């Protein structure tokens, strides 16, 4: 393009982009990709926070000797806490009416 301008005797000293637009189908794909990346980043933070909270809970239960938990019970507690902390919907508590080991 510069050669054609020079032939016409035009000298371009400066250019600036004032507007940049993508074709609608490309813009839509780019938006979906940005949204997906944002969701992934948010979930990573949620999981990191949940793991930290579960770790803290287990340490405090052990240090304060609140209750002695077998590995199977710890795994169950970790699973429940992770589900509650990472859930996108409200939590619905379940009250057990049986013994701890039934």
Give the number of other CB atoms < 10 A from CB of residue 54: 19
91 Cβ contact list (under 8 Å, min separation 6): 84
Instruction: Report percent pLDDT > 90 for the chain.
Output: 40
Residue-range domain boundaries for the chain:
22-86
- Using the predicted structure, report yes or no on whether residue 19 has a pLDDT greater than 70: yes
Average pLDDT over residues 33-45: 96
Find the length of the chain: 102
How confident is the model at residue 96, as a pLDDT?
A: 67
Q: Which residue has the higher pLDDT, 76 or 37?
A: 37
Mean pLDDT throughout 17-42?
92
Which pTM value belongs to this model? 0.60
Q: What is the largest CA-CA distance in the chain?
A: 93
Q: What is the DSSP string of 8-20?
A: TT-----------
User: For the chain, what percent of residues have pLDDT higher than 70?
Assistant: 88
* Short-list 75, 101, 70, CA closest to 83: 75
Q: What pLDDT is stored for residue 84 in this prediction?
A: 87
């Amino acid at each position: 393009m510069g050669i054609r301008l020079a032939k016409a005797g035009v000298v371009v000293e400066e250019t600036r982009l004032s507007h940049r637009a993508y074709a609608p189908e490309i813009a839509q794909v780019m938006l979906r990709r940005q949204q997906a990346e944002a969701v992934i980043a948010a979930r990573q933070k949620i999981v990191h926070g949940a793991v930290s909270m579960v770790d803290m809970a287990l340490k405090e239960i052990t240090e304060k000797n609140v209750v002695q938990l077998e590995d199977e019970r710890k795994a169950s507690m970790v699973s429940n806490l992770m589900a509650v902390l990472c859930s996108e919907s409200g939590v619905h508590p379940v009250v057990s009416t049986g013994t701890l080991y039934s």
